[in-house]
A and B are shown apart, each in its own frame.
Chain A
């Protein structure tokens, strides 16, 4: 099953060695066949180190969701492969959880939030431990005492918190998030961004966060992976050297924040215009 020899250990310039937890090697995806064949992903390569916060941005239509589904093992790539802790991903890995974009459809409306969180834990943990994990996860996302509500009794922001709590309680090594805040209002979005940063620090989880929002990407990430327009490859990887903990006011006032933002914005604009030329 596993190709353990492929686990990469890249040398950091500093003392600690960084362990690669997730590695994409030439991931391709095409839909259809013959003349209607559309190449969405055209060899995507990048690696994620354990404990890192990676944001993936790209022009709209650049196959961000397709990429995430390939990484999550929900969709087989047409070429290349994804390695999760050295093993080729052929089905959803046990130590990976996904927070989906459409929280209102990924939570089960016939179960309370507590039972929604508990469902994936039933195969992994004993009853007593489950209860503890659920309460801890609910507290972490600011939903302590709300476990007995049904998802539809909650606001959109609370539902997405519940979906995040479900991911956390599952105790994944990697949390994949697919534009998780695209559907909530601006104020809630800011709260949830800080929530995810707190959680990442608390649980020391590796996060791969797909977004179309450049500010959000720079604010959250250790490194931003910029995709080209379709057919998609990695156009640039931009390290974000802003100090942590991040702060919605201070971090965004930092001149480096503005520089990074402008840089990534330009890269995406270029990617957009070049992909338009390709299509014409």
Chain B
């Protein structure tokens, strides 16, 4: 691809966000409404609170809890889903309980989490894992069960061991479905870290947003909200890059089939 095409592709994607920011900038420039401070003020606050060492106080705890919670939900979800996918017996035993737990709106777990863990990082992580694990569990179980009979025969006739079957055949075959589950798990993790920090935390971005709102620090509320958007956007971007790498074979296969 030449430079001109890269540029025009970038322009197509960027013109609307740039336009909206510009409109916001000019429309709010002289705003004296306390609920809608000028974008310039919000960005100054953003720069002061989130682009300096001060950011470490709230950003690092939030991101740490998010990453730990997401990884626990992801690996726990893949492990549990694999077990469910491989064993019909485990599946029929666990399915009703799982459907029940899955139907609980995750924020409902907050009071119990508070009772069990108090206002701690462990509590925030508990909420993430319990609330966000289910899409990965269910998608993994489905993906594991969807092994084509041809591959099952191949694995059996070449006498592949359990680990080979699992890591070379079953899980790669399930990978596209696992990834779509993980993506939802990631989105839920971000929602839940913010919600749980708003309700019960002494630091973190969620705490910052709600705390600033309750103390009428409106520019801070806006800046924190913007930051959450940026965090969500960037984590999804990183996730999609990882997915593209792991599922490169699938993309390649689809492109050759179309050609």
Main secondary structure of the interface of B (DSSP, over half): helix
A79 lies within 8 A of chain B by Cβ: no
CA distance A19 to B154 in the complex (A): 28
Within the complex, what minimum Cβ distance (angstroms) separates B146 from chain A? 13
Report whether A94 and B159 are in contact in the complex, using a CB–CB cutoff of 8 Å: yes
B157: A residues at CB distance < 8 A: 72-74, 92, 96-98
> Which residues 153-193 of B sit at the A interface, judged by CB distance below 8 A?
153-154, 156-161, 164, 168-169, 172-173, 175
B151 lies within 8 A of chain A by Cβ: yes
Closest CB in chain B relative to A142 CB, distance in Å: 21
B168: which A residues are within 8 A, CB to CB?
Answer: 108, 111, 119
Q: How far is the CA of A70 from the CA of B167 in the complex (A)?
A: 27
Residue of B with least CB distance to A163: B154
The proximity string for A residues 88-118 relative to B, scoring 1 for CB distances below 8 Å and 0 otherwise, is 0001101011101010011011110000000
User: Measured between alpha carbons, how far is A202 from B115 in the docked complex, in Å?
Assistant: 73
The verdict on B256 contacting chain A, using a C-beta distance below 8 Å, is yes
Q: Determine how close the nearest CB of chain A comes to the CB of B29; give it in whole angstroms.
A: 54
Whether B158 and A120, one on each chain, are in contact in the complex, defined by CB atoms closer than 8 angstroms, is yes
User: B100: CB under 8 A from chain A?
Assistant: no
The number of residue pairs between A and B whose CB atoms lie closer than 8 Å in the complex comes to 68
Interface status of B249 (Cβ within 8 A of chain A): yes
A-B contact pairs, 12 of them (CB 8 A): A72-B157, A74-B153, A94-B159, A105-B148, A105-B150, A108-B169, A109-B249, A109-B253, A119-B158, A150-B252, A153-B252, A153-B256
- Set of chain B residues within 8 Å of A123, measured between Cβ atoms: 159-161, 164
| Interface residue ranges, A against B (CB under 8 Å) | 69, 72-74, 91-92, 94, 96-98, 100, 102, 105-106, 108-111, 119-120, 122-123, 150, 152-153, 166, 170
User: What is the minimal beta-carbon distance from B191 to any residue of chain A, in angstroms?
Assistant: 32
Minimum Cβ distance to chain A for residue B114 (Å): 44
Contact with A along B175-216 (1 / 0, CB 8 A): 100000000000000000000000000000000000000000
Structural contact, B249 and A102, CB atoms closer than 8 A: no
Are A110 and B249 in contact (CB-based, < 8 A)?
yes
Complex CA gap A166/B158 in Å reads 10
Cβ 8 A contact of A110, one of B148, B156, B164, B175 = B175
Which residues in A have their C-beta under 8 angstroms from that of B172?
108, 110-111
Query: Roughly how many angstroms separate A122 CA and B163 CA in the complex, as a whole number?
Result: 12
A100 near B150 (CB under 8 angstroms)? Answer: yes
- A273 to chain B minimum Cβ distance, whole angstroms, is 33
Q: Which residues of A contact B150 (CB under 8 A)?
A: 100, 102, 105-106
Among the listed B156, B173, B252, which residue makes an inter-chain contact with A74, where contact means beta carbons less than 8 Å apart? B156
User: Quick one: which of B103-144 are within 8 Å of A by CB?
Assistant: none
- The residue in A73, A92, A166 that gathers the most chain B C-beta atoms within 10 A of its C-beta is A92
Q: In the bound complex, do residue B249 and residue A98 qualify as a contact, i.e. CB atoms below 8 Å apart?
A: no
